[in-house]
Amino acid sequence: MKVKTKSKKVNKAWLHDHLTDPYVKMAQKEGYRARAAYKLKEIDEAFQLIRPGQVVVDLGAAPGAWSQYLRRRFAPKSAGVGGAASGELDGTIIALDLLEFEPIDGVAFIQGDFRDDEVMHQLEAALGGKAVDVVVSDMAPNLSGIASSDSARISHLVELAVDFSTRHLKPEGALVAKVFHGSGYSQLVELFKQTFRVVKPIKPKSSRDKSAETFLVGIGLKRP
């Protein structure tokens, strides 16, 4: 019974935090599917990464808030409520996730596991040989609660995003990847430094204080 009571308290506290969260309220008002849109918005405003006409790949895209933000950046004149679901799109957005994804006008979606070769082939086919300007990755694995195992899963996804970026980004392109402070974090920072000319960590204000998540931004590929 104590476990259930504690669980109810935790759920009630989470629900209260969620419902009173200013970013949740803002997302509802502005038509974003999740508050996560504001994380990418802050990162973009800090580094001026997203511009109309670009090719952007959104990894771990569901439920679609980051793709919505990209959509609005590529069609600023139609950035109304509903995720800028209409209007001329100046740019290419390819989204990928394991989960189902409610369509967004102009966003190409591939459902599958980024770790599978077949899914990677689909993504490369969708690019059609185009070089990518920006890769954004909000990917995170299902966590088991076992620190060493979770750290390895997180690192593997980030390493895949970095590998994809080295093969598909333009020389001056950028990667934004979600990482977590803890075991393996310093190694991921080092991987970014080996791969990109400019590397900056950023913790957006819209990322909850309690969360261990942060984001690494790599700009400009180093060449061997």
- Tell me the backbone φ, ψ of residue 136, rounded to 5 degrees: -115, 130
Which of 171, 212, 215 has the alpha carbon at shortest distance from 195?
171
Active-site option among 2, 39, 178, 200: 178
Is 133 annotated to bind a ligand? Reply is no
- Give the contacts of 50 (CB within 8 A, at least 6 positions apart): 44, 56, 70, 73, 134
Is 53 annotated to bind a ligand? Reply is no
* CB of 52 closer than 8 Å to CB of 58: no
Tokens of 41: 């918005």
CA dihedral 12, 154, 183, 189 (to 10 degrees): -120
- Tell me the backbone φ, ψ of residue 141, rounded to 5 degrees: -80, 165
Chain centre to alpha carbon of residue 110:
15
Active site residue 178: yes
Is 113 annotated to bind a ligand? Reply is yes
Is 66 annotated to bind a ligand? Reply is yes
CA dist., res. 1 & res. 8, Å (int): 11
Q: Which residues are known to be catalytic? A: 178
For the annotated binding site for S-adenosyl-L-methionine, the residues are 64, 66, 97, 113, 138
